[in-house]
Chains A and B, each alone.
Chain A
């Protein structure tokens, strides 16, 4: 008998019933909601006089529409958005669901607040009406995004009719070079396997380079697995995972603590487990990455030029180059940006902010650039302020703002104007994502910080060299 993968172990422990060859009824440990993909689910529930089956396994936060102006008491000016936020609060109160509301000091982006308060633990199944729920794989929890109909299903039954995915392993050996991060690694992987390279798969990341990543860097990696089409991403828990979780999960004490640690140790793929698809990469090959196009797989190393539109992706490449105003052969380095955005569920945790702050410290944002930092949560914001990270940004000329999703998807009032080019630490460079006609270049926090200083896309390694001289 061959061994089984971590993904199959997580499914097995959460299978309430096998429905048919392709579908199981999957139990959900934690269901996270936001203000814009849940309202119609609650309405559907109410119309059929159905209840929330297990309110204690559900939590909500206002994250997408919330304004991030640096004003202490936040008022949502847009009437429709204000209605959405109020509606979420009413729905949660009605059903006894925990909420991190607009002016909660701990409010933040779903995928930042859930792990930072110990709500994500290895072995869990986590669902949320947001595609970046794959983030939680970093802690050995199976997280995935669902639609609003499925949100309603989870509210009513605490389960989901779940279509089985296939197993993929992405093995990364080697050591990430100085100046590169998990963001560069995942952008490189996506550019190699493509925007649908992992479609239909749950990806397990393995190898020395993955082990060497901090837990927060693993969040970045798993967060963007969905940009390769993955249904989920996983990293087997290790001592770093256990330390991270126990530090935040104060309720796990005594015998339960030993029991939990013992259980978490079993959460890995068996040595002889078979994957349907495998990829191998060498972290040593990773250079700082930057996207040139309108799909996250359209990325190159900072030292490279915009590629020639050719091969099977020719059509998409031509379309992307027309939108971004770039031609084949143009170097990425030196491309002027008018905006820099540091934030999002991909890159707005304390380590991201520290890394970016270390680049800007003692320097100043170029006069042609508007640069902003939107921390991932109230807790991240407070910590950055206590550590002097916030001050480093402010002194360098960055706007230091309130937490939220902000310009990652520009659903609030943080929207770019037509033709503006933005160096962004977010996860999607889709057409119009940050504003109609606006152009997004995805990169790491350090790279975005360097772009803010230089006024153009640049190689952060130059700045690191400067620091050592």
Chain B
């Protein structure tokens, strides 16, 4: 196993079910036109109080967790809004993997498209990892093997699932768009055949816009 095939380091447990992407990356950090500056906004309301002061009790604010690379989350981690900013923020903060029993579906796709590893473990294994993280004197160190698909702690050896495609995307840093563009001729041919039978969807956006503009031009203005 090479270094590219494993993620290891400090794991912080966030024992919050349904931790939605609004909480992971609140609205006030979504106003950019690039991906920068999102580490600041990560889990903002949990990390900072209403006055903007750090909450010393929150796990990611504790000095021992400064180098956290892995999060252990509850069920349905990343549910809600489609904002990919949540994934970018986690990565910019230094998080390389999230372990949870289940993930929001759009968040899952977003993570895989950015090389953030989401390790889906069983509910009991998730709970055991959560308990182990809570019971230790210091931070829990985890070792995630992306080839063998296991999460290892000092006392737990938990398998996780990852589809073949996503494992490949993760390991080979696949240019998904580039791969699809190689099929561009097939796509165009498909569309031609599809539109021949369903002409009412061809150029549906531009055609509708033109129709509305024509209507508007004919409407008497006050």
Which B residue's beta carbon lies closest to that of A123? B198
A432 touches B177 (CB 8 A): no
Contact A22-B18, Cβ < 8 Å, known A36-B31, A152-B177, A411-B27: no
Q: 8 Å CB contacts to B: which residues of A113-144? A: 117-119, 121, 123-124, 129-131
The one of A17, A105, A147 in contact with B113, judged by C-beta atoms closer than 8 angstroms, is A147
Contact A229-B105, Cβ < 8 Å, known A78-B31, A146-B82: yes
Which B residue's beta carbon lies closest to that of A410? B27
Q: 8 Å CB contacts to A: which residues of B10-39? A: 15-18, 20, 22-23, 26-27, 30-35
In the bound complex, residues from chain B placing their C-beta under 8 Å from that of A50 are 177, 181
Least distance between B22 CB and chain A CB atoms (Å): 5
A295 close to chain B: CB less than 8 A: yes
Least distance between B220 CB and chain A CB atoms (Å): 14
Q: How many residues of B contact A (CB 8 A)?
A: 67
A87 touches B205 (CB 8 A): no
A121 touches B201 (CB 8 A): yes
Least distance between B211 CB and chain A CB atoms (Å): 6
Contact A295-B18, Cβ < 8 Å, known A57-B205, A231-B105: yes
Q: 8 Å CB contacts to B: which residues of A88-117? A: 96-99, 105-106, 117
Question: A400-423: contact bitstring with B at CB < 8 Å (1 yes, 0 no)?
Answer: 000000000111000000100000
B61 close to chain A: CB less than 8 A: no
In the bound complex, residues from chain B placing their C-beta under 8 Å from that of A156 are 177, 180-181
Instruction: Give the distance in Å from the alpha carbon of A284 to the alpha carbon of B106 in the complex.
Output: 34
Instruction: Give the distance in Å from the alpha carbon of A25 to the alpha carbon of B188 in the complex.
Output: 13
A252 close to chain B: CB less than 8 A: yes
A431 close to chain B: CB less than 8 A: yes
In the bound complex, residues from chain B placing their C-beta under 8 Å from that of A55 are 205-206
B17 touches A313 (CB 8 A): yes
In the bound complex, residues from chain B placing their C-beta under 8 Å from that of A40 are 33-35, 84
Beyond A428-B81, A437-B50, list 10 extra A-B contacts (CB 8 Å): A50-B177, A56-B207, A99-B209, A156-B180, A157-B177, A195-B79, A196-B18, A295-B18, A316-B74, A431-B22
A-B contacts, 11 listed (Cβ < 8 Å): A17-B186, A84-B31, A98-B205, A99-B209, A147-B113, A157-B180, A157-B181, A157-B183, A195-B79, A199-B76, A229-B105
